[in-house]
Amino acid sequence: MEKYVIHGGQPLHGQVEISGAKNAAVAIIPAALMVRGVCRLENLPEISDTDTLLRIMTFLGARVTMINRSTVELDCTHVQMDTLPSQMWDMTRRIRASYYLIGAMLGRFGRARSTMPGGCNFGVRPIDQHIKGLTALGADVRTSGGFINASAAGGRLKGGSVYLDKVSVGATINIMIAAATAEGRTVIENVAREPHIVDLANFLNSMGADVRGAGTDVIKIRGVKSLHGGTYALIPDQIEAGTFMAAVAAAGGSVKVANVIPKHLDCISTKLREMNVEVEDGDDYVLVRRDGPLHPTNVKTKPYPGFPTDMQPQMTVLLCSAPGVSVMTEGVWNGGRFKYVAELKKMGANIEVDDQSAFIQGVDRLTGATVRACDLRAGAAMVIAGLAAQGVTKVEDVVFIERGYQDIVGKLRALGADIACVDEPEERPAEESAG
Ligand code: UD1
């Protein structure tokens, strides 16, 4: 069982290059299914979620050619499958973004069948808004027995209007992909505005689509007959950048976080400054420095441009070391997304969770312990806690972290962190690890 072993207390110094955005990649790879021609994707992150999706695309009949570590050519011209075969179910159940294959297959073939998606467990993750949107485009969508079946009346989707009752990244993306080649005009209101929504729109447009308004709360799409090949470079990962910023703030030191779009980090930078962390914006980098004590603050997660829910655990770790009381409120996921707090408590954190909020009383210093990565971002938060803690921290279940962070261990080591990935047996009590 691979785990990360961290000897805490080393400040971070130097420069880290941020990889391409995971959540853009996992939308754009399935969207390439809509394209008859070669899509060359650049700045793709080397993470297990993109690897899984590329394997699924290969299985569906796409020609996938790795040009280098961050560039891939995807040719879906001859893909004919509108059903995810059973050999793929294990993979589609593992990742959230597999549901974008439904929008893409439906848009391309007028039919789609796949498993319900997987992904991080934040409690209930409904897909009613996806269904509402695809239905507005004329699809008959049914879910049963863990599968999604969808078909377009007459074999081709038709443009339509949909108002999302909940701002949903996934539903916005799925409907955008499906509508790109639907007949006529689609209007989606109350959409998500995350940077990767804009990235997907730019990708689709560079392949011949007509998508307008991405980044605002209304997206208008004029369906085109077909999409053609082209080259597209993905944006840098907002959350990976934020994670490294939080790591510097937690461990202390001074780091240039490079290959970022500072505007995408505004909300994170502002909160860090409130906490007595220096953040200086460059053209495509931010300089982060912390040498004084952290100050407490309150944070509430919201859809973009609000504070990202995917930075919530990392920020909570930071607040653990800020003397005084801070409150972290989860405003996106019902159920709080606070499972990782139990792990942080093993490191001496003083946190009480009540419904959607965590009340954090800062402690002098966290202490090393063996903890689990409960999910992708919670796992990154445990790494940050380990960097700040006194003593040795072992983070288990790192497969979750590797779903979304390219070489996190190598990048942190290059900044001076004492972290290694080792293969050791689990340390959980027998009854917990059984089965
Ligand atoms: C995406 C991100 C995830 C991030 C989340 C919010 C990917 C692969 N994952 O997840 O990391 O935490 O955005 O920024 O991009 N909802 C409904 N009905 C729906 C869909 C969503 O009620 O049909 C609710 C959810 O329960 C949640 C909220 O809407 O409370 C936001 O979910 P959504 O934006 O859809 O998240 P994902 O796209 O699944």
Q: Write down the residue that tokens 């007459």 correspond to.
A: 154
CA 368, CA 278: separation in Å to the nearest integer? 26
Cβ 125 under 6 angstroms from ligand 1? yes
> Would the CB of 190 count as within 6 Å of ligand 1?
no
The secondary structure of residue 208, as a DSSP letter, is T
- Enumerate the CATH 3.65.10.10 domain ranges in the chain, comma separated: 2-19+236-428, 22-220
Which stretch of DSSP H or E encloses residue 108? helix 100-109
The residues facing 326 across adjacent strands are: 360
Dihedral, CA atoms, 19, 124, 117, 199, nearest 10 degrees?
-40
Q: What does the alpha-carbon distance between residue 235 and residue 198 come to, in Å, rounded to a whole number?
A: 10
Residue by residue, pLDDT tens for the chain (435 residues) are: 899 999 999 999 999 999 999 999 999 999 999 999 999 999 999 999 999 999 999 999 999 999 999 999 999 999 987 777 788 788 877 787 788 999 999 999 999 988 877 766 666 688 999 999 999 999 999 988 888 899 999 999 999 999 999 999 999 999 999 999 999 999 999 999 999 999 999 999 999 999 999 999 999 999 999 999 999 999 999 999 999 999 999 999 999 999 999 999 999 999 999 999 999 999 999 999 999 999 999 999 999 999 999 999 999 999 999 999 999 999 999 877 999 999 999 999 999 999 999 999 999 999 999 999 999 999 999 999 999 999 999 999 999 999 999 999 999 999 999 999 999 877 765 444 333
Collapsed DSSP state (helix, strand, coil) of residue 114: strand
147's CB contacts (< 8 A; 6+ apart) are: 113, 114, 115, 116
Asked if 31 and 100 touch (Cβ cutoff 8 Å), the reply is yes
Choose among 369, 352, 273, 266: nearest CA to 316.
352
**Structure pTM?**
0.95
DSSP labels for 171-191? HHHHHHHHHTTSBSEEEEES-
Pocket flag, ligand 1, residue 135 (CB < 6 Å): no
Residue 353 has which token pair? 């969770």
Q: Could you identify the atom of ligand 1 that is nearest to the CA of residue 23?
A: 15
The two beta strands, 350-354 and 298-300, are unpaired
Q: Residue 114: what pLDDT?
A: 84
Ligand 1 atom nearest 376 alpha carbon: 11
Pick 22-220's CATH classification: 3.40.50.10260, 3.40.50.2300, 3.40.50.300, 3.65.10.10.
3.65.10.10
User: Is the shortest distance between the CB of 126 and ligand 1 below 6 Å?
Assistant: yes
> CA 98 to CA 235: how far, in whole Å?
20
**Is 120 considered catalytic here?**
yes
Please state, in angstroms and rounded to a whole number, the distance separating the CA atoms of residues 89 and 148.
12
CA of 42 to the centre of ligand 1 (A): 25
Residue 124 Cα: closest atom of ligand 1: 26
Q: 2-19+236-428 is classed in which CATH architecture?
A: Alpha-beta prism (3.65)
